Each structure stands twice: as structure tokens, then as C-alpha cells.
Amino acid sequence: MLAKIVFVGAGNLATHLATAFFNQGVEILQVYSYTEENAKLLADKVNAAHTASLQNVRTDADIYIYAIKDAFLDQVQVQINAPQAWHLHTAGSVPMNVFKETKLKYGVFYPLQTFSKTKQVDFSKIPICLEASCSEGLEILKELATRISADVREVSSAQREKLHLAAVFTCNFVNRMYAIAHDVVSEHGLSFDILLPLIDETAAKVHTLIPRDAQTGPAMRYDENVINKHLAMLNDDSYKQLYQLISENIYKSQ
Amino acid sequence: MLAKIVFVGAGNLATHLATAFFNQGVEILQVYSYTEENAKLLADKVNAAHTASLQNVRTDADIYIYAIKDAFLDQVQVQINAPQAWHLHTAGSVPMNVFKETKLKYGVFYPLQTFSKTKQVDFSKIPICLEASCSEGLEILKELATRISADVREVSSAQREKLHLAAVFTCNFVNRMYAIAHDVVSEHGLSFDILLPLIDETAAKVHTLIPRDAQTGPAMRYDENVINKHLAMLNDDSYKQLYQLISENIYKSQ
């Protein structure tokens, strides 16, 4: 199968995903984005046509991949009329059935990863969670996914929303902890890079230990002496509140 | 200089640190721990004597390294009488001056890393933060630290307590986020390993982007649709509270 793909969306995920397909020789027919500039930027990277008009989205592709904000998915997909094709969204928290009323063949292609514009990722290690409206579709999706990743899994809508929730904790919330630490060290003339070996080791530990067993630090033993010193050092009230709440949560979880 | 070291403490940090020195040919004279069993366990690993009695701690070492709970440091160090030796503690949040009244030569040897019993670490990449009561002492500490690490830095007590606070966010609190995610996926029959590429990439991103620029996820755009779905999925009230507070914190920080 050499599927022809239209990308609906040109944000971080669309860019990384389209580029990964393009690098594996998969043909990207066209890129649509609400913003012409973004559509062209990605289209040029993957040797595709581009459009900023939903009316001009080509109808002869085999696969339409929607990588747009959740809130826009429904209103955009109903305007794309390609009944013979597969329609796949890439969202963690949107059920597959969003396509049920308007499409014949549909599914989900959810790469469980965080994407930023300027940071390259190795797609081959990214778990791709697939779901399809029929078993034939699942095979097509698997074939497509294995072109770019060695970790392809079948995941239901119910499981996927749990994974997305877990991803918010392990990625978005973790990154916020890094950002607070960045504030703390910057404020005192220290370089954030001194924390990188600790950040890496903290991530590495949960490859071999379950997180509960990897827990260390003053909150575990509720060391009030250290905790109170730390609270006194935090100028921002929301940081104080977070520090206290997470510390209590660690202590009580044991 | 071939310093002879006594380790006061036999916990995770003492074990990893003593082993790193031993592997570099540094002589460990003796290991003290309140618990004889722990003292013997570490002493056997590093070919040292051991004792569970403070009265029997040898007085002829060059360096005493205290790796015990912060709360016990003061009452333990006053009982060790070796006025010619260097006395170093390893705590993030204890000022160097804890030794001021009782010791002539003292300092801090603080490896900025998380240590768990069963997880090996590569000491050569761990930043070691040094502080000494005089410049001669600092040179001795640097010589000692460079035997086991390529990243040796001079850090004042005031800076070190800020680093420790930042480390609580980047390590202890991050690990708690991993643990909550572990709960979420386990509860729904999913394997935690599917999150590991995301965990690794989240850590890798802040090597090249500042954390604020690496932030992604529903909280950034305060996507209430997704946020409310996630809150509804969390059974534990403390998890709900954390989810809400961190999400608000991400949203407001932009």
C-alpha cells in the first residue's frame, strides 16, 4: 500500500508526523491549515500542495489525518467530503465516534509524545495508539504506523483518554515542575544546567523501579524542618501552595 | 593526596558515594551507622571496618563524611572528635556553619542527585557542590571530588539551599507526577511502559529549550473541555485538587 495522505492541520504534531511519513517515502498530497502561511510552510517541507480553504481540500486522497485543536475537529471534518477515504484524528481525549455520523471509514492515529516546533524527535520509538471503525481499517492503520514507529498498539477510546490523562501528569505537569525549578535557580544566579543530571536520572529511575519505589526527598518523611525552610524561600504564593499540596500527597501516599 | 575516609551514615547516599570512592581507589577506613547491620553491609562493600557505636568511631581519618538525616547531623557530629580532620556534610539544606562551633576544618560535599538503593548511578556526571571553611580546604575538596566526578562546582550555603529546593521540584515532585500517572494507567489495565518515551522526551526537551518554551498540553490554552473530562476521570480528591492547581499555574504562567 502506498497511501496518499492529506494533512488537515499544520501545527507541531502535523509537522512532525507529516515529516516522519515524508522521510519514509509516503506521499503527502496536500496540507490544509486555516492559516495559509502555516499550510505552505509544512507543505514545502513535505513536497505537497497546500490550501487554506476547506473547499479546496482534495477529495482523492486515501487517508485524511486531522491534527487540529480538539475544539475545531468536528466542524472541520464535516466539511471534508471524501467518502471512500479513511479519516483519522490524532487527539488523546476525543472518542473515535466523532466521525460516526459523517464518515464511513474512520479511526484514530494517536502518537503518545510531546511535540515542540524546534525540537526533533525520533519517531521510531514513539508509541502509536490505533483504533479503527473495522478490522480491515485497523490493518491499514497498522501498516501505516509501522512505517514510522516500531511501537504500534491497539488502544480503545476509553483507554486512550486515560493515557492522555496520564500523559498530562508525566509530561505537562512534569514540565511545569521543571519551569518552577528554573525560576528558583535563575532568581538566585544559578544555571539551570546543574539540574539536568538529576532530571535525567529521575526519568531513568522509573524505567527500572515503579515510581512509588523511586520516591525520595523531604516530603517522604514529612521533614518539617526542610519543608518549612523551602516554603519560606518561595516568594510566589501559588508555588507555596503547590509545594505544600504535593508534599502532603507524597507523604500520604506511602 | 590519598585521603582516608570515615563514612558517618550507611543509607542510600553514603552507599553510592562510598562505593564511588572505593572504585577509584580511595581508602574507606570505617563506616558508622546507628544500625549495625547497615554499617556492616556498606563496610563489606568497600573493604572497611564498621561500628554502630559513636564512641568507637576512629579518630585517625583525614576526612569524615556525614551522610545521615539532617535532623541527626548536629547531635552526631559533636560526638566525633577528630580535630585534625576535615568534616564534611552532604545535605542540601543544612548550612556549612553547623560545624562552626565544634570543628576547625569543615565543609560541604553535596552531590546533586537522587539515590535509591537498587539503582546504579554514573557518578562521573553528577554535579558535586563544594563549600569549605577556608581556601586550602576547598582545594582538598576539589581534589577529592574530581576523583569521582567531572562536574565539580563551588556553591555557597545560600545557593545550595536554593538548589535543594529546585531539586525537590525537578526530582521529588516530578516522581510524584510519575506515580500518579502510574496509578491512572494501572487502574485501567494499561502498562506504565507506554509512557516511558514521553517521560524521556519531556526530560530531553529541557536540555535544549527553557522549560517555559517546552510547555504543551490542555492547561496551556485552558481547554476546559479536556480539563473537565480529566477531572471527572480522577477518583482521588487529592489528585483532582493537584490537577486543577497545576493546570491553573501553567495557564497563569504564560
Tell me what the mean pLDDT of segment B94-102 comes to: 96
Contact criterion met (CB < 8 Å) for B166 and A195: yes
For chain B, give the percent of residues with pLDDT over 70.
Answer: 99
pLDDT bin (cut points 50, 70, 90) of residue A2 is low
Phi, psi of B243, rounded to the nearest 5 degrees? -55, -45
Mutation site, A117, A177, A228, interface B, largest B CB count within 10 A: A177
Which pLDDT belongs to residue A54? 96
Distance of CA A216 to the CA centre of its chain: 28
- Distance, in angstroms, between A84 CA and closest chain B CA? 31
Phi, psi of A126, rounded to the nearest 5 degrees? -85, 125
Tell me what the mean pLDDT of segment B97-109 comes to: 97
Contact criterion met (CB < 8 Å) for A163 and B194: yes
Residue A189, number of CB atoms within 10 A of its CB: 8
Contact criterion met (CB < 8 Å) for A162 and B233: yes
A152, closest residue in chain B (CA to CA): B194
Structure confidence by residue, pLDDT tens digits, B196-212: 999 999 999 999 999 99
Lowest model confidence (mean pLDDT) among A60-64, A229-233, B221-225: B221-225
A92, closest residue in chain B (CA to CA): B226
- A188 interaction partners in chain B (CB closer than 8 Å): 158-159, 162
pLDDT over threshold 80, residue B1:
no
Longest dimension (CA), chain B: 67
Mutation site, A122, A192, A246, interface B, largest B CB count within 10 A: A246
pLDDT bin (cut points 50, 70, 90) of residue A57 is very high
Go through B198-226 and write b for each residue having 16 or more CB atoms within 10 A of its CB, e for each that does not.
bbbbbbbbbeebebbebbbbbbebebeeb
Mutation site, B16, B68, B172, interface A, largest A CB count within 10 A: B172
Contact criterion met (CB < 8 Å) for B171 and A216: yes
Of B169, B189, B208, the CB nearest to A119: B208
Contact criterion met (CB < 8 Å) for B225 and A180: no
Which pLDDT belongs to residue A254? 85
Structure confidence by residue, pLDDT tens digits, B17-69: 999 999 999 999 999 999 999 999 999 999 999 999 999 999 999 999 999 99
Structure confidence by residue, pLDDT tens digits, A169-194: 999 999 999 999 999 999 988 999 99
Contact criterion met (CB < 8 Å) for B205 and A177: no
Question: Which runs of consecutive H residues, i.e. helices, occur in A36-79?
Answer: 36-45, 70-77
How many angstroms separate the CA atoms of A75 and A85, rounded? 18
Tell me what the mean pLDDT of segment A228-240 comes to: 95
Of B200, B212, B233, the CB nearest to A165: B233
Contact criterion met (CB < 8 Å) for B215 and A173: no
- A181 interaction partners in chain B (CB closer than 8 Å): 166-167, 169-170, 211
Distance (Å) of CA A84 to CA A5, A63, A76, A104, A133: 13, 9, 18, 8, 14
- B202 interaction partners in chain A (CB closer than 8 Å): 114, 170-171, 174-175, 203
Checking DSSP bridges between strand B105-111 and strand B128-132, what pairing results, if any?
A: antiparallel
How many angstroms separate the CA atoms of A144 and A123, rounded? 13
Which pLDDT belongs to residue B2? 60
Contact criterion met (CB < 8 Å) for B184 and A173: no
Tell me what the mean pLDDT of segment B178-201 comes to: 96
Asked if B118 contacts A209 with a C-beta cutoff of 8 angstroms, the reply is yes
Task: Name B190's Cβ contacts closer than 8 Å, sequence gap at least 6.
Answer: A159, A162, A163, A166
Structure confidence by residue, pLDDT tens digits, A98-150: 999 999 999 999 999 998 888 888 999 999 999 999 999 999 999 999 999 99
Which pLDDT belongs to residue A1? 58
How many angstroms separate the CA atoms of A85 and A103, rounded? 9
Q: Give chain B's mean pLDDT.
A: 95
- Distance, in angstroms, between A219 CA and closest chain B CA? 8
How many angstroms separate the CA atoms of B107 and B134, rounded? 9
Mutation site, B124, B165, B196, B205, interface A, largest A CB count within 10 A: B165
Contact criterion met (CB < 8 Å) for A162 and B200: no
Contact criterion met (CB < 8 Å) for A114 and B253: no
Contact criterion met (CB < 8 Å) for A241 and B245: yes
Task: Name A37's Cβ contacts closer than 8 Å, sequence gap at least 6.
Answer: none
- B167 interaction partners in chain A (CB closer than 8 Å): 181, 195, 198
Which pLDDT belongs to residue A117? 81
- Nearest one of A233, A226, A221, A149 to A183, comparing CA atoms: A233
Q: Which residue is it, cell 515524508?
A: A22
Q: Which residue is it, cell 577506613?
A: B29
Compute the count of residue pairs across chains A and B with CB atoms less than 8 Å apart. 325
Which pLDDT belongs to residue B3? 86
- B234 interaction partners in chain A (CB closer than 8 Å): 165
Which pLDDT belongs to residue B193? 97
Task: Name A232's Cβ contacts closer than 8 Å, sequence gap at least 6.
Answer: none
- Distance, in angstroms, between B59 CA and closest chain A CA? 31
